[in-house]
Amino acid sequence: MELQDQVAAAAHAFLAGLSEKQAHRALLPFDEQERRTWAYWPTDRRGVALWSLDRAQTKAAHRLLASLLALPAYARAVTIMGLDEVLDQLEGYRSDRRHREDYWVSLFGQPGRPLWGARFEGHHVSVHATMAAGQTRLTPLFLGANPAVVCDGGRPVVAPLAPEEALGFELLHALSSEQRSTAVMSGDAPDDIATRNLPRMDIPLAPEGVPLDALSGPAAAASRALLHLYLGRFPAGALLPDPGGARFAWAGAQDPGAGHYYRIAGPRLVIELDNTQNDANHVHTVVRDPVADFGGDLLAIHYEREHVH
């Protein structure tokens, strides 16, 4: 079964289990701005919230999310959702927005139609799918974690985005001294990812850093592993951002334990990681395609075909 058919089947199953009122909340028009509106912090969203669903409905929502992610990424996403309960404890239970069911499902257009989309979103999880022209785009895709690491006696026991951190440092330290001087943009890390939650990346990131295609040996191997890790978040059959022409850039501390940031950015791929908040124990990561976020390229193909016919 093609990916778009798998996602449509999961979406139909989710809708079939909802009440009429819930389905009305979950289904939104495809062509309104809400489809491109996203956030990775706790807030009310349009759609239907997990906390409003019963057990069977919640399981169906998770099956939809699982259809949008490769298994390792799905495992990370549900771990991140559970970390909201840990964060609630660490903050002294001060907020009613810290819980594992403060996540929302939104469907844009009718699943299975030529144009439709889906969103699963809440604190530190923002997953988007656009189905058009018989293909599936899944950017932007955001995963974060607070706390980034939960330790027991100094040993990490939960750290859903630790591989992204470790491989970033591995790549940095595998660079030659000349390459590292090119890669490091600043000794100070920004306080968040540069692209934030912009619906469109109309202003490209500065072409800073060392080109990936200039790397060799351990640095090239680390860059391939890092790309594989991020692009491996997407399930088989999804259209992937193209890393051609991308550069690796770094800012902030060059060893773990203090605020740091890196990105891999090119014409058709932007990957960012920022870990500066909460004493560098609060990490944000995102994968984007400046041309095709929210299926922009697929929509152009679809409307061109419609115009021809």
Q: Which of 85, 107, 139 is where one domain is finished? A: 139
**For residue 190, is it within any domain?**
yes
Give yes or no: residues 131 and 193 share one domain: no
Q: What is the pLDDT of residue 304?
A: 76
Give yes or no: residues 258 and 167 share one domain: yes
Q: What is the pLDDT of residue 250?
A: 98
**For residue 308, is it within any domain?**
no
Give yes or no: residues 15 and 112 share one domain: yes
**For residue 151, is it within any domain?**
no
Give yes or no: residues 10 and 67 share one domain: yes
Reduced to 3 states (helix: H, G, I; strand: E, B; else coil), residue 176 is: coil
Number of C-alpha atoms within 13 angstroms, CB side, residue 139?
A: 27
**For residue 150, is it within any domain?**
no
Give yes or no: residues 22 and 52 share one domain: yes
Reduced to 3 states (helix: H, G, I; strand: E, B; else coil), residue 142 is: strand
Alpha carbons 65 and 11: distance in angstroms, whole number: 9
Q: What is the pLDDT of residue 307?
A: 60
Give yes or no: residues 271 and 174 share one domain: yes
* DSSP-H helix ranges across the chain: 3-16, 20-26, 55-68, 71-90, 162-174, 177-183, 217-231, 277-280, 296-308
Return the exposure string of 284-299: e unless at least 16 CB atoms fall within 10 Å of the residue's CB, then b.
bbbbbbbebbbbbbbb
Which residue from 156, 160, 155, 130 is spatially nearest to 143, judged by alpha carbons?
Answer: 160
Q: Which of 139, 171, 198 is where one domain is finished? A: 139
Q: What is the pLDDT of residue 202?
A: 75
Q: Are 176 and 211 in contact (CB under 8 A)?
A: no
Sign of CA dihedral 30, 294, 273, 7: positive
Total number of domains constituting the chain: 2
Q: What is the pLDDT of residue 308?
A: 55
Q: What is the pLDDT of residue 303?
A: 83
Q: What is the residue whose two structure tokens read 């807030």?
A: 43
Give yes or no: residues 175 and 52 share one domain: no
Give yes or no: residues 106 and 33 share one domain: yes
Q: What is the pTM of this model?
A: 0.97
Bridge partners, residue 274, by sequence: 261, 284
Q: What is the residue whose two structure tokens read 């193209």?
A: 242
Give yes or no: residues 104 and 198 share one domain: no
Give yes or no: residues 133 and 18 share one domain: yes
Alpha carbons 158 and 150: distance in angstroms, whole number: 5
Mean pLDDT, contiguous 10-residue spans, the chain (309 residues): 95 98 98 95 96 98 98 98 97 94 98 96 98 95 98 95 98 98 98 95 85 98 98 98 97 97 97 98 98 94 72
Range of the domain at 219: 160-291
Give yes or no: residues 128 and 164 share one domain: no
**For residue 127, is it within any domain?**
yes
**For residue 24, is it within any domain?**
yes
Give yes or no: residues 189 and 286 share one domain: yes
Alpha carbons 276 and 278: distance in angstroms, whole number: 7
Alpha carbons 145 and 249: distance in angstroms, whole number: 22
**For residue 304, is it within any domain?**
no
**For residue 165, is it within any domain?**
yes
- Give, to the nearest 10 degrees, the angle between helix 3-16 and helix 55-68: 170
